[in-house]
Amino acid sequence: MRSQLPKVLHKIGGKYMLQHVIDHANDIGISSNIMTTHVVVGHQAQLVESSVAGQNILFALQGEQLGTGHAVAQAVNNISTNGISLILYGDVPLTQTATMQELIEIAKNEQLGLLTVKLSDPKGYGRIIRNASGEVSAIVEQKDASAAQLTVNEINTGIMAVPNKFLRKWIAQLDNQNAQGEYYLTDIIAMAAADKVAIVTRSPEAEQEVQGGNDKLQLAHLERFYQLQQANTLMLAGATLTDPNRIDIRGTVNIEGEVLIEANVLFEGEVVLGDGVQIAANCIIKDSVIAANSIIKANSMIEQSAVGRDCEVGPFARLRPGTELADKAKVGNFVETKKAVIGEGSKVSHLTYLGDAIIGSGVNVGAGTITCNYDGVNKFKTEIGDDAFIGSNSSLVAPLKIGAGATVGAGSTVTKEVAAQQLSVARGKQVNLNNWQRPVKK
């Protein structure tokens, strides 16, 4: 990886590879809550342990890296004699829950469920060896394979489901008499065949399900595959994507009808889009709800905010956490809001900052207006009543209340309450001088 970060903590779709594996596995037992996840850790173990979360996780330390069989051995004493072990890999993040479930169903019949895949280029992988009847008899690692075995293109993914009573027995019988001097988990396949335990194979729907992220190039390939699957899910749910290859989802997006999403849009966290929502190019939306028929114009950022129905946001707008737009509100270009509640039909069209503000309905906020909400230590609130008009280039020094229907003249710095229907003008007196000598260049 050429990185100080443990490999399994590199991310796909904004989530650690290891967390993907844990989450998919948890989905199997989430209804019964009877599953325990064992995570075998080694390099930077404490960082890995503190970085992942899930139901019933137990960590086992592999002090020396002596192979996959050795890794499983660190956890096997903590599993029950009854039950089934599903063996997964922390750097193989896209194995789907349905695929895992298929292997478990095989193991329920006291068989070994093994995930294999055929590759056009199997170089580097262990080969699946079958007997004359087509049954799996062994797995041979690349370095130990004969010339004939190297022609086999069905490879071992390492992912398997095994009844615990067999796994405990076979792990205890492993040795390291091989080219790499390691304890191969794959050797239990030959043991299963010798014990006449049926080895039943399954293959994933896509080979990316079993591909590992071993370097930044592989990580990028997995990211794009993952994102395309996310895009496909959105389109099947009714979204129109102008370019499915240029959308990134680092969390979940729920749509409530037909929506339009243009290129280069990034979603993070939990996002909900109502029916008829349009998201223009180059927007970033994080942990937010956008209600029906609202339009988010290009290059806008929305974070931890709620946008009502029939609103317009952007272009180049930024809604920071705590922003709430009521129905039909408008926030235009180069407007920034933070903890601002903007009422129904109100307009903040351009070049404005509203922080810690409550804006009524039908308010017009002119260009260049700012709420001066911070004195260097504390934050204060600005309240503007319904139908008020705030002239351009106004500075509203909080704490401040401006009444319903009031008007603030352009260029004013307002520090005192403005009552309903009043006009407030707070600016220096203009002086015009005749016969003024303009400076000249010396």
Question: Which amino acids are annotated catalytic?
Answer: 350
Angle (CA) 92-98-102 rounded to 5° is: 100
CB neighbourhood size of 384 (10 A): 28
CB neighbourhood size of 48 (10 A): 22
Task: Tell me the one-letter amino acid at 326.
Answer: A
Q: Which of 345, 373, 372 is nearest to 359 (CA)?
A: 345
3-class DSSP assignment, residue 387:
coil
**DSSP states along 111-159:** -EEEEEEE-S--TTSPEEEE-TTS-EEEEE-GGG--TTGGG--EEEEEE
Q: Which of 237, 301, 236 is nearest to 268 (CA)?
A: 301
Q: How far is CA 264 from the centre of its chain?
A: 15
Q: Contacts by 372-381 with C-beta closer than 8 Å and gap 24+? A: 372/396, 372/397, 372/398, 373/398, 379/355, 380/356, 381/356, 381/357
3-class DSSP assignment, residue 424:
strand
Dihedrals φ, ψ of 269, to 5°? 70, -145
Return the structure tokens found at 375.
């004195």
Q: What span, in angstroms and rounded, lies between the C-alpha atoms of 331 and 367?
A: 11
Give the residues across from 306 on adjacent strands. 289, 324
Task: Judge whether 12 and 47 are in contact, CB under 8 Å.
Answer: no
3-class DSSP assignment, residue 316:
coil
Q: What span, in angstroms and rounded, lies between the C-alpha atoms of 218 and 214?
A: 6
Sole residue written with tokens 């037909």? 258
Q: What span, in angstroms and rounded, lies between the C-alpha atoms of 33 and 55?
A: 8
